[in-house]
A and B are shown apart, each in its own frame.
Chain A
């Protein structure tokens, strides 16, 4: 395990939404769970998120969206990841995501969708189980 390196996670707030309680709590929980966390700050375009993921060489992108803009933002992020050949990066999303939007998000490449009430522990475990640290996969 120790050789695998720490999982690197980009916690991103795309869109105009400023509700960052969730993003901050998760960033701290992931850090406390031993992961390396980079938080983008607010109001990132899909391009900014993907560029940050590339530059920071992350294994995971965690998107936090509470404004209802996920159906516009997430497919764009997925498209850019494909373009940059980064589709091995694990993409998860948390926020106010209605059930009926979940299948489309998963089809776009989102592996984990965490709706209101999801625990930090579930999210940490999901990332541990599904992230492939790039140091190993490379």
Chain B
């Protein structure tokens, strides 16, 4: 439809018609009368300093999301596509394209899992925190490991100096894992583990602990993060080179499909990509495309997407910009459905479903006036719930300063409980559907993601794109632009760059070096107690399997070279995290990124 000259005229006095959309007659009338008068009397003022990103090309107030996506004054039916209709674009909950959620009853049948990420100091201390969280009404666990564990070093390795038990719990051997889950029934508790490069190793420890408890592997459920691609892109806790790492990931898919049908063998994670400074769209696009890459690699290995597809799960950040986040979650489900069905030809409906965990944005928390973080976290948690998350972690208010105290961790859990039991938002399914604004944003997210997919396809897939530094550069640029806007006070952070007060620091959790000493002593005792020949044999066999290329059998068994059974044997012999990773380092080498600054 051609624009009328009247609208062109309006463009000069106001931005209402300046974008690529055709307003209805009634809207044009409104803009020319009521709106024009209001603007004359009270011109719009941007949120934050009226400079830079807060002004449009005519010098008028520009409104944008935290990701700097411009937002219009008003959304109307004219913002939706001409062929918009409910059935085609939304459908029903539990049915394709899943925009409105994967469950037909939303949260009415099953509330989300309140899963608080936690781990610090020794396995003994973390075990106590876990029992506390379960007693206080949390219904799933999520293990945070310390940096030496994440990087595959024992607590007594020189690189572990100063890091033991600091960012999470220190786990060196099966013995520590047994302590970590002492008194916790693994058949009844779902456990998520944030572990990547050594993922199959920590998983093997978990499976052996479950086995010793008498739990049935077919019945235990939980999630292994196991997402190495986002490590190269953002979080940077990688050990081996990409291709070798991908092989280990596919090994766990194959093992999991057969032996642990209720365990999610991967949680494809946007959380860290966002924390590294990505925009909401970049988080969405890079994460889902990581998912595409995993499916491609698994299929190349001969695995059936209908078998492993249902065990793929996702993990997103829930950040400050309320509606943008909700749109991101809604779009994510629809995009994954389209990809699994159309790109990969999945027939199993379970493989079409995007199930995801969400965590509120650690990067948004301020060290200044830390109690304000409770309000931020509540809004972010609410966005995740309105976006239909399956499980949620809400951050503690003191996390910009240290690992959370028990009190801070309890308030974080209570924040979720307030959303679940008091706010009423769980009464109905996907309550924001049909909002012109939310639907427009959801479509923009979907279209924007597919544009990124085209670029990533053209680069030859995500592993290639990572080698070129493409996602890393995109994120670094977005991160720098946001920092500049924050420092110019074009984006406001309450308590940090505006509304500042003088204040005293709060009490925080301190982890001292005694944890490292304790872990070192345990390791020393273990190495004298265990059968060291058995350890050596198990590690040698693991190395032999790791050096071969796995061949898929199609006889119902997993491939003979799959590394997981060999890792299980090494774990049963009480080989340590450092020893098992060193064995794989011998075979695969290590990876160093080309630094991009």
Contacts and interface: CB of A to CB of B under 8 A. Distances in A.
B159 A18 contact: no
Contacts of A17: 147, 163, 167
B496 A117 contact: yes
Nearest to A28: B480
Contact of A41 (B160, B235, B595): B595
A117 B368 contact: yes
Given A25-B479, A28-B480, A72 B161 contact: yes
Nearest to A117: B496
B402 A96 contact: yes
B166 A67 contact: yes
Contacts of B368: 117
A16 B151 contact: yes
Given A15-B147, A21-B479, A98-B508, A42 B163 contact: no
Contacts of B163: 15-17, 67-69, 72
Contacts of B454: none
Interface in B335-375: 363, 366-368
A99 B237 contact: no
A79 interface: no
A120 interface: yes
Given A42-B236, A67-B147, A120-B487, A37 B400 contact: no
Nearest to B500: A117
B276 interface: yes
A98 B592 CA distance: 30
B322 to A, nearest CB: 23
B596 to A, nearest CB: 8
Interface residues of B, number: 46
Interface string A55-82: 0000000000001111111000000000
A21 B276 contact: yes
Interface in B140-170: 147-148, 150-151, 153, 158-163, 166-167
Contacts of B513: 72
Contacts of B402: 68, 96, 98
B476 A73 contact: no
Interface in B384-402: 400-402
Nearest to B504: A99
* Central interface residue in B160, B167, B479, B513, by most chain A CB within 10 Å: B167
A39 B479 contact: no
A34 interface: no
Interface in B250-296: 275-277
A87 interface: no
A120 B510 CA distance: 28
A20 B233 CA distance: 11
B483 A25 contact: yes
A119 B593 contact: no
A69 B162 contact: yes
Nearest to B516: A72
- The range of chain A's interface size is 35 or more
Interface string B466-490: 0000000000100110011001000
B401 A98 contact: yes
B505 interface: yes
A76 B82 CA distance: 65
A27 interface: yes
B511 interface: yes
A41 B597 CA distance: 9
A18 B235 contact: yes
B275 A99 contact: no
Contacts of B363: 21
A71 B511 CA distance: 11
Most buried by A among B235, B595, B596: B595
Interface of A: 11, 15-21, 23-25, 27-29, 31, 37, 39-43, 45, 67-73, 96, 98-100, 115-117, 119-121
Given A69-B166, A96-B401, A98-B401, 17 more contacts: A15-B163, A16-B148, A17-B167, A18-B235, A19-B235, A19-B236, A20-B236, A21-B363, A25-B479, A29-B483, A41-B593, A67-B163, A67-B167, A68-B163, A98-B510, A116-B401, A117-B366
16 contacts: A11-B597, A15-B163, A16-B150, A16-B151, A16-B153, A20-B276, A21-B479, A24-B597, A27-B597, A40-B595, A67-B166, A68-B166, A100-B505, A119-B497, A120-B483, A120-B487
Interface of B: 147-148, 150-151, 153, 158-163, 166-167, 231, 235-237, 275-277, 363, 366-368, 400-402, 476, 479-480, 483-484, 487, 493, 496-497, 505, 508, 510-511, 513, 592-593, 595-597
A-B pairs, 8 with minimum CB distance: A72-B162, A18-B236, A69-B162, A68-B166, A116-B367, A16-B147, A27-B597, A41-B595
